[in-house]
Amino acid sequence: MINFTALDFETANGFRGSACAVGAVKIRDGVIAETHYSLLQPPVGYDRFDPRNMAIHGITPDDVATAPTFAEHFATLHEFVHDDVVVAHNVGFDIGVIESGLEVCELPIPRFEFACSLTLSRKNYKLASHALPSAAAEAGFVLENHHNALEDAKASAAIVVDVARRLAAESLDATLEVSGMQRRTLAARDVGDTLSRPTRHALTMPGMFDAANHAVAAEALPDLIRWPNEGTNPPTNEFADSKHPLFGHHVAFTGLLGLSRQDAKNKAAAYGAQTQSRIGGTTTMVIVGDGIRPEELANFEQHPRLQQRKMQEVVRRREQGQNIVLVTEPEFLGMLNENWPHATAM
């Protein structure tokens, strides 16, 4: 029996405890049995809407003005999930939304078991990008309204059900086991216990995400969601082929890739690139994930899925005359192919 609950959150800003919408899909025996969706008012003090987030999901402060608060709604969501294993695409983020949201609301954290459809996709699909639209399409699910929390939850569920079918697995646990995975657990915690790293980080910036604080410009709002995923910058392989398209470049990455950020950095460095964790004066190449296609980079300044802080920094530096090449994930993977001279045209 393939039973679980798929979950997706959208957030108001770069702090993961700022949920502004939630979608959930209960799967019973591999089919949708029940769905749940709600707009949410983010916790007070963390309720400022970042223009970049609004450009992605389209939710505004006016949209959530009469919605329940995260604290008010959580009991309903928890009852819907009950004792199911929670599944999401990049599930660490969505579990982190619950964790940080409850922490800043000073509410106890219940125990959750969870698994990741992104990791399942990486383990079982051969794709240039494992971003949710690409992985869902491989599973036979057309995601027409990406970043609607309910539609994203349905897409994540479709991936898990499809992988289970391909593996002839009779349960979620069997699907995970064959894929070399297992359930992970968020332990129950009382109010006042050790806080998660994102919440501790946010607490060092009092008022930064507060809708009542008008002293902070929109462009100054930090994105704490992506920071922990950067990894370290490995030494550059100085003996790599100098003709390789990555050789000599100062490379930064933005967006979700089909491989971990650390793996991407290791591979780029092996081919002679110097990797970076942010866009700077020496950056010459940016690898763009999130399933972005080459043709979407032509007018990326207006693309709603390309409004991350790093991409805004690319715009600013290009206007100042800095030459920064943009490369999509499929193009980057082509560079890593042993037949790279034929796999990419740089």
Q: How far apart are CA 221 and CA 308, in angstroms?
A: 11
Confidence (pLDDT) at 306: 63
Instruction: Point out the residues of the chain with pLDDT beneath 50.
Output: 227-228, 340-346
Closest CA to 64 of 54, 74, 55, 56: 54
Query: Does residue 155 share a domain with residue 238?
Result: no
Asked if 258 and 131 count as a contact pair (C-beta separation under 8 A), the reply is yes
Q: CA torsion sign, 312 to 148 to 128 to 171?
A: positive
Query: Does residue 55 share a domain with residue 12?
Result: yes
Query: Does residue 78 share a domain with residue 132?
Result: yes
Confidence (pLDDT) at 337: 74
Which range marks the domain in which residue 201 is found? 4-220
If you compute the radius of gyration of the chain from its CA atoms, what whole number of angstroms results?
Answer: 20
Amino acid identity of residue 141, one-letter, is F
Question: Which residues pair with residue 274 across a beta bridge?
Answer: 250
Select from 170, 195, 220 the last residue of a domain.
220
| Distant-in-sequence, close-in-space partners of 66: CB < 8 Å, separation ≥ 6 | none
pLDDT tens column, 190-229: 998 889 988 988 898 899 999 999 888 887 787 776 544 5
Q: How far apart are CA 149 and CA 142, in angstroms?
A: 15
Number of domains in the chain: 2
Asked if 275 and 293 count as a contact pair (C-beta separation under 8 A), the reply is no
Q: How far apart are CA 77 and CA 193, in angstroms?
A: 23
Alpha helices, DSSP H, located in the chain: 51-57, 70-81, 91-104, 117-124, 132-138, 149-167, 172-178, 197-203, 261-270, 309-319, 329-336, 340-343
Query: Does residue 173 share a domain with residue 257?
Result: no
Query: Does residue 205 share a domain with residue 69?
Result: yes
Query: Does residue 95 share a domain with residue 10?
Result: yes
Query: Does residue 198 share a domain with residue 77?
Result: yes
Select from 182, 202, 220 the last residue of a domain.
220
Query: Does residue 138 share a domain with residue 271?
Result: no
- Output the pTM of the full model: 0.72
CATH of the domain at 296: 3.40.50.10190
Q: How far apart are CA 33 and CA 2, in angstroms?
A: 12
CATH of the domain at 166: 3.30.420.10
Asked if 276 and 233 count as a contact pair (C-beta separation under 8 A), the reply is yes
Query: Does residue 231 share a domain with residue 189?
Result: no
Select from 205, 220, 235 the last residue of a domain.
220
Confidence (pLDDT) at 271: 95
Query: Does residue 216 share a domain with residue 233?
Result: no
* CB atoms near residue 82 (< 10 Å): 8
Confidence (pLDDT) at 346: 37
Burial class (CB in 10 A: 0-12, 13-18, 19+), 79: exposed
